[in-house]
């Protein structure tokens, strides 16, 4: 697995602190989302990213503004790491017109064309052929961007996965396939649903180079993603990256979590990505306790303002039903 020494040395202090801010923002955003859901202010399903913050922050941190980002339904972390406005995201959760998708998409359909963030897709694996298409368009147009497409481990067992990986390899498309292996597909452990438990090995059938990385280490994820993106950007074709991580909360808010023990969750929580990274920053003299505490407090203020904005925003009017059916110039 990738080491954190090299990326920590080459990244500047501002970037290192931004990574910390983004991980804390994701954690507190998800905790606030759970609170709003429990109050009945968020409808439908809600899939939290708590525990997996380093995956999105390290991965997106290695991309350029011209690269493309496509993800599955557990999309809050990626949206925040890509720089989408927290106010517009909370408003989307509450179904408000000021939401990033106009209040019509909800939790699983965050998207922002201005940031090449294409969503947020609720159908398991349904976004993989779309990522293949975006990568084909980049190649056809001669654009330098790569496509970062993340999925859960459960998506690797469906047809879309194999079709998409095969064509991406045949056409040498600039796509980075990222499998977030959080040990469970909903409530089913990987070993009970997949004959091959190493997600990285699944790229071998299509001659796609692969690697595994510690998804609880933001700097390791950054370095592995940077190397994989360089491979795809060079014209050498796709790359598959398995990121080993763990969600501290259930699959969704309605998950009774009968499939895993409290001891198992507690063991993984000892490897909390935020606490681990905070210790790195302090240990290497990047920041003092007081500065990180100020970042923590600032995040809480930012989210409080985001909630106020969302609750004060109007709901979509009847005219919203007819919008976005056809492309508008």
- pLDDT for 7 equals 60
Q: Which pLDDT score is estimated for 327?
A: 79
For the chain, 329 residues long, give each residue's pLDDT as a single digit of tens: 444 555 655 899 999 999 999 999 999 999 999 999 999 999 999 999 999 999 999 999 999 999 999 999 999 999 999 999 999 999 999 999 999 999 999 999 999 999 999 999 999 999 999 999 999 999 999 999 999 999 999 999 999 999 999 999 999 999 999 999 999 999 999 999 999 999 999 999 999 999 999 999 999 999 999 999 999 999 999 999 999 999 999 999 999 999 999 999 999 999 999 999 999 999 999 999 999 999 999 999 999 999 999 999 999 999 888 887 887 76
The domain segmentation of the chain, as residue ranges, is 18-35+47-310
Residue in 57, 43, 158 with CA at minimum distance from that of residue 108: 43
What pLDDT is stored for residue 329 in this prediction? 61
The residues facing 70 across adjacent strands are 149
How buried is 135 (Cβ within 10 angstroms: 0-12 exposed, 13-18 middle, 19+ buried)? buried
Note if the pTM is more than 0.85: yes
| Domain 18-35+47-310: which CATH number of 3.40.50.970, 3.40.190.10, 3.40.50.300, 3.40.50.2300 | 3.40.50.970
């Amino acid at each position: 697995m990738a080491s954190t020494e090299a990326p920590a040395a080459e990244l500047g202090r501002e970037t290192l602190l931004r990574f910390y801010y983004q991980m804390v923002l994701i954690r507190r955003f998800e905790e606030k989302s759970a609170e709003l859901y429990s109050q009945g202010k968020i409808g439908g399903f809600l899939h939290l990213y708590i525990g997996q913050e380093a995956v999105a922050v390290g991965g997106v941190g290695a991309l350029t503004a011209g690269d493309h980002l496509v993800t599955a339904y557990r999309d809050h972390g990626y949206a925040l790491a890509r720089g989408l406005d927290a106010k517009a995201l909370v408003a989307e959760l509450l179904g408000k017109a000021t939401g990033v998708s106009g209040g019509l998409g909800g939790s699983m359909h965050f998207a922002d064309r201005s940031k090449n963030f294409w969503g947020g897709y609720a159908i398991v694996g349904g976004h993989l052929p779309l990522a293949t298409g975006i990568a084909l368009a980049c190649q056809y147009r001669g654009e330098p961007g790569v496509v970062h497409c993340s999925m859960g481990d459960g998506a690797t067992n469906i047809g879309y996965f194999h079709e998409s990986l095969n064509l991406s390899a045949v056409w040498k498309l600039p796509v980075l396939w990222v499998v977030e292996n959080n040990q469970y597909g909903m409530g089913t452990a990987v070993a009970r649903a997949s004959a091959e438990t190493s997600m990285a090995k699944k790229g071998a059938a299509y001659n796609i180079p692969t690697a595994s990385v510690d998804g609880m280490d933001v700097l390791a994820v950054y370095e592995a993603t940077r190397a994989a993106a360089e491979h795809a950007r060079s014209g050498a074709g796709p790359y598959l990256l398995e990121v080993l991580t763990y969600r501290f909360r259930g699959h969704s808010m309605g998950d009774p979590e009968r499939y895993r023990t409290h001891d198992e969750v507690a063991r993984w929580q000892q490897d909390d990505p935020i606490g681990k990274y905070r210790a790195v920053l302090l240990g290497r003299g990047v920041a003092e306790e007081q500065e990180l505490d100020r970042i923590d407090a600032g995040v809480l203020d930012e989210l409080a303002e985001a909630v106020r904005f969302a609750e004060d925003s109007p709901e979509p009017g009847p005219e919203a039903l007819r919008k976005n059916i056809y492309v508008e110039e």
